[in-house]
Amino acid sequence: MPSFPKAAGHKAAGLSRQRGFSLIEVMFASTILSIFILGIGGFWYQASGRASDLVLKQKAIFVLSGELERISALYVYTTFPSDSTNGPVTTTGYTDGLSGISTSRLIYPNSVGNFAGNNYITTSYATFSGNEFYVLLKTNTFSSLNRAYIWIDKSRNIVGRISWAATSISVSSCAQLLDCSCQRSDNLSLSGGVCSRLDAYLEYPYRIDSSGNLTAPATLETLSLKTIVGRG
């Protein structure tokens, strides 16, 4: 007896086992894969941006620490803080909006040549651009509106605005601080010394173009470091 129905059944089963994906299944899988790839891409983009921000912040902290050392040296070893002509310049109008930070701060004068062998203050962008250790002084009609800038990342044309505050403190209260390095006039008593607390601020990131013009993002970061200096 012919077995054609049985053979046909085997053929149909083979075709069923060899059937591929339908168009709808392929489209659905592609959509899921696309969402997954976009999610991974977005994550790495955000992670990369965050890492870049952290690297820039570390550079800014390092630069601010170095600048505070410069300022401290001027206060400790020279008459810079008390010089009415070539000493610190009082500037006003800072608007970083941080609670407890004065809007009036000190910056460098046009020159510190009277106190330091290397005159690193400049009002020239060409000079500033040629040396990453220079301070750029942007002058205005009123000296109280002058601002000082230092390099944070020269390769990316990123600078920060440097300023500081100096607060006089008594030797007796200074001597009670564990990290105090105040000198005293007689090196014995707790009277007669001259001490100051320096609070240095760095606002960043400013970008500077080839003409020396500065631009800032909508939101600035402000870093602060402090130290105590004194002269006997």
DSSP assignment of 65-82 equals HHHHHHHHHHHHHSSGGG
Span 193-220, mean pLDDT? 87
- Tokens 């130290």 belong to 227
Which residues fall within 8 angstroms of residue 35, CB to CB, at 6 or more apart? none
| pLDDT score at 190 | 46
Span 40-48, mean pLDDT? 60
Q: How far apart are CA 15 and CA 11, in angstroms?
A: 6
| pLDDT score at 151 | 95
| pLDDT score at 109 | 93
Please check the confidence at residue 12 and state whether its pLDDT lies above 60.
Answer: no
Handedness of CA 182, 185, 186, 190 (dihedral sign): negative
| pLDDT score at 17 | 55
Please check the confidence at residue 185 and state whether its pLDDT lies above 50.
Answer: no
Higher pLDDT, 176 or 74: 74
Helices (H) and strands (E) in the chain, counts: 4, 9
Span 39-67, mean pLDDT? 79
Residues 207-221: pLDDT tens digits? 988 888 899 888 889
- Tokens 């800072």 belong to 94
| pLDDT score at 159 | 95
Q: How far apart are CA 205 and CA 223, in angstroms?
A: 11
DSSP assignment of 88-135 equals -EEE-------TT--S-EEE--S--TTT-SS--EES-HHHHHH-TT-E
Residue 2, preceding bond cis, omega within 30 degrees? Answer: no
Q: What percent of the chain has pLDDT over 90?
A: 36
Span 57-69, mean pLDDT? 94
Burial class (CB in 10 A: 0-12, 13-18, 19+), 12: exposed
Asked whether the beta carbons of 221 and 57 are under 8 A apart, the reply is: yes
Q: What is the mean pLDDT of the chain?
A: 79
Residues 67-109: pLDDT tens digits? 999 999 888 888 888 888 889 999 998 876 566 788 899 999 9
Top mean pLDDT of 45-59, 131-145, 182-196 is at: 131-145
Indicate the range of 19-23, 67-71, 167-171 predicted with least confidence: 19-23
Please check the confidence at residue 175 and state whether its pLDDT lies above 60.
Answer: no
| pLDDT score at 84 | 85
Asked whether the beta carbons of 165 and 198 are under 8 A apart, the reply is: yes
